[in-house]
A and B are shown apart, each in its own frame.
Chain A
């Protein structure tokens, strides 16, 4: 059985329940719009950035069956690009984000061309090794400022109209970016292209025999995922006015795997839930003396051993039973 195939069949069944999905989406959007009046906006923006990052990652593992263990390279790499273009070159935030997304996409193209030559476990190791290379480059290149990172990035004015220094304006901008990214992923998954990806995940030799050039499909999915991860990273750099080495480490690659695994691989909402939980947990742990990596590692182990469908996957597996 391939990773997450179980969860997706359930997810697909779920998404065919037309009006229900629209209602849930509207409700969630309403909650997201109202949230900054209840919760701390910076925290919510962090959740949204990581949620987009995890959704982008999930597009690969959940819908194309490719486990990338190097997504931090796109997330953190794009953060550096956004921070540098906005701070040093004085670009407007929208162009900084575009540049970040484009560079992450280009990196995804290069990574993809190399990594797609091997499958399964090798794919994971290759992406991990390549992202470690990006980490060393970020440590050594002059423009990234090594251990200090790029600090004090100005948020600027979006389209020359919206002052992003206002917390609420910034929040709704991030929300809009997230919704756009999520919609793109939703559209991709439900398109013929997405169906081919699922076919490749389930049985690649069969997809080849049906005449699909599977490597091209995988490459396009990889570039798309990398670009969206880059958009998330660039947004995070603007929100926190900082791009640092933390975002390019292998731990960050592991964290996005955990968010997706915890929420539910191959479900559309799973990564969002997982990102919310992990970010909440980390900000809670920061105030205790518990070592964060140990807790994260324990959740990883428990998820893999007994909770492979994740929260949303588990919920979806139970819902139809109740309906009958």
Chain B
């Protein structure tokens, strides 16, 4: 049996895979945050809570309506997206003229409400969610065992990330979006309904979080606390990557997930804080973030 740097390959690749999966979630969530921030100038603290809501919608659909994974994969993001649009229309839209910090404070309150309500109803212990039949089992790659579901999560989230990147950077709708990010007044003068676009952007951003929640449900347990601890790491990811570029958000998310996986192999005590340490170092060397523009 060969080993790399004194670590058995199963352990190394196992942790790298886990890191890649965490990284996929970081990428999906920081992508949503970046899209929302670009358009609304709001840092959506409720993003983690909405990711948790996505996972819970999937679990509720399965438990009470008998709708399985594939149905939930469509319905849960739609439900979270609609919830997001309702929140944007009723509350967030009142704050655009104020300091951006109020948006952060409002969504912080919303996160507390969502998390507290689910916690009150379902307790802190997680609810198990089964892996769909089509994705059970795994492949033996020779150097490691690759569970099918985990491979699916990585492929699915990468597809969604690059799909979003393509939609924003290469399509006409995306061009409107980018234009409205740069100068909403002018875009509105050209006859585009910017307030609707803002609502849809927020809905889309949080739908991505809901989708990530469904993808995560079979891997981690469905628990009320799954979102907020994640979102703080994603904030660090966003600070490291800088919010200027979509591709930057994706690359940084994946990269930090892998780095976290590697840290778990070589120095497990530091795995919880490695992302924050990287953030501090990046801020000292390149304050705008790796892919950010200085403003």
**Shortest CB distance A141–B (Å):** 10
Residue B287 is within 8 A (CB to CB) of chain A in the complex: yes
Q: Which of A129, A139, A140 is close to B276, meaning CB atoms less than 8 Å apart?
A: A129
A residues near B232, Cβ cutoff 8 Å: 128-129, 132, 250
**At the interface with chain A, which of B11-19, B196-204, B233-241?**
B233-241
Residue A130 is within 8 A (CB to CB) of chain B in the complex: yes
The chain B residue with its CB closest to the CB of A293 is B116
Range class of the A interface residue count: 35 or more
Q: Kindly list 12 other residue pairs between chains A and B, CB separation below 8 angstroms, not including A121-B104, A250-B228, A308-B102.
A: A117-B283, A118-B283, A125-B236, A125-B238, A126-B279, A126-B283, A129-B235, A133-B277, A294-B117, A297-B114, A305-B106, A308-B98
Q: Which of B43, B269, B277, B279 is close to A140, meaning CB atoms less than 8 Å apart?
A: B269
A residues near B279, Cβ cutoff 8 Å: 126, 129-130
Query: How many Å lie between the Cα of A140 and that of B104 in the bound state?
Result: 29
The chain A residue with its CB closest to the CB of B43 is A121
Contact indicator A3/B287 (Cβ below 8 Å): no
Query: How many Å lie between the Cα of A133 and that of B283 in the bound state?
Result: 15
> Can you give 8 A-B contacts (C-beta < 8 A)?
A114-B283, A118-B287, A125-B235, A254-B112, A296-B112, A297-B111, A301-B106, A303-B109
A1-B98, A125-B239, A294-B113 given as contacts; is B105 within 8 A of A257 (CB)? yes
A3-B99, A133-B273, A305-B94 given as contacts; is B106 within 8 A of A300 (CB)? yes
Contact indicator B99/A293 (Cβ below 8 Å): no
Q: Which of A114, A128, A136, A291 is close to B280, meaning CB atoms less than 8 Å apart?
A: A114
Residue A317 is within 8 A (CB to CB) of chain B in the complex: no
Contact indicator B272/A297 (Cβ below 8 Å): no
How many pairs of A and B residues are in contact by the CB < 8 Å rule? 122
Contact indicator B104/A124 (Cβ below 8 Å): yes
**Shortest CB distance A298–B (Å):** 6
A residues near B110, Cβ cutoff 8 Å: 297, 301
Query: How many Å lie between the Cα of A298 and that of B114 in the bound state?
Result: 10
Residue B144 is within 8 A (CB to CB) of chain A in the complex: no
Contact indicator B106/A304 (Cβ below 8 Å): yes
**Shortest CB distance A188–B (Å):** 22
Contact indicator B105/A300 (Cβ below 8 Å): yes
Contact indicator B238/A304 (Cβ below 8 Å): no
Interface string of A246-257 (1 = CB under 8 A from B): 000011001001
Contact indicator A129/B102 (Cβ below 8 Å): no
Interface string of A285-324 (1 = CB under 8 A from B): 0000001111011111101110010000000000000000
Contact indicator A114/B113 (Cβ below 8 Å): no
Instruction: Identify which of B101, B272, B275 gathers the most chain A CB atoms within 10 Å of its CB.
Output: B101
Interface string of B47-74 (1 = CB under 8 A from A): 0000000000000000000000000000
Contact indicator B272/A304 (Cβ below 8 Å): no
Contact indicator A300/B284 (Cβ below 8 Å): no
Q: Which of B100, B102, B115, B239 is close to A293, meaning CB atoms less than 8 Å apart?
A: B115
B residues near A124, Cβ cutoff 8 Å: 43, 101, 104
The chain A residue with its CB closest to the CB of B49 is A297
Residue B91 is within 8 A (CB to CB) of chain A in the complex: yes
Residue B108 is within 8 A (CB to CB) of chain A in the complex: yes
B residues near A20, Cβ cutoff 8 Å: none
A residues near B269, Cβ cutoff 8 Å: 140
Residue B95 is within 8 A (CB to CB) of chain A in the complex: yes
Contact indicator B98/A67 (Cβ below 8 Å): no
**Shortest CB distance B119–A (Å):** 7
Q: Which of B43, B98, B111, B276 is close to A132, meaning CB atoms less than 8 Å apart?
A: B276
B residues near A301, Cβ cutoff 8 Å: 91, 106, 109-110, 113
Q: Which of B95, B101, B119 is close to A121, meaning CB atoms less than 8 Å apart?
A: B101
B residues near A297, Cβ cutoff 8 Å: 109-114, 116
Contact indicator B99/A1 (Cβ below 8 Å): yes
Contact indicator A291/B116 (Cβ below 8 Å): yes
B residues near A298, Cβ cutoff 8 Å: 109, 113
**Shortest CB distance B36–A (Å):** 12
Q: Which of A193-207 contact B (CB under 8 A)?
A: none
Query: How many Å lie between the Cα of A304 and that of B94 in the bound state?
Result: 10
The chain A residue with its CB closest to the CB of B117 is A294
Residue A186 is within 8 A (CB to CB) of chain B in the complex: no
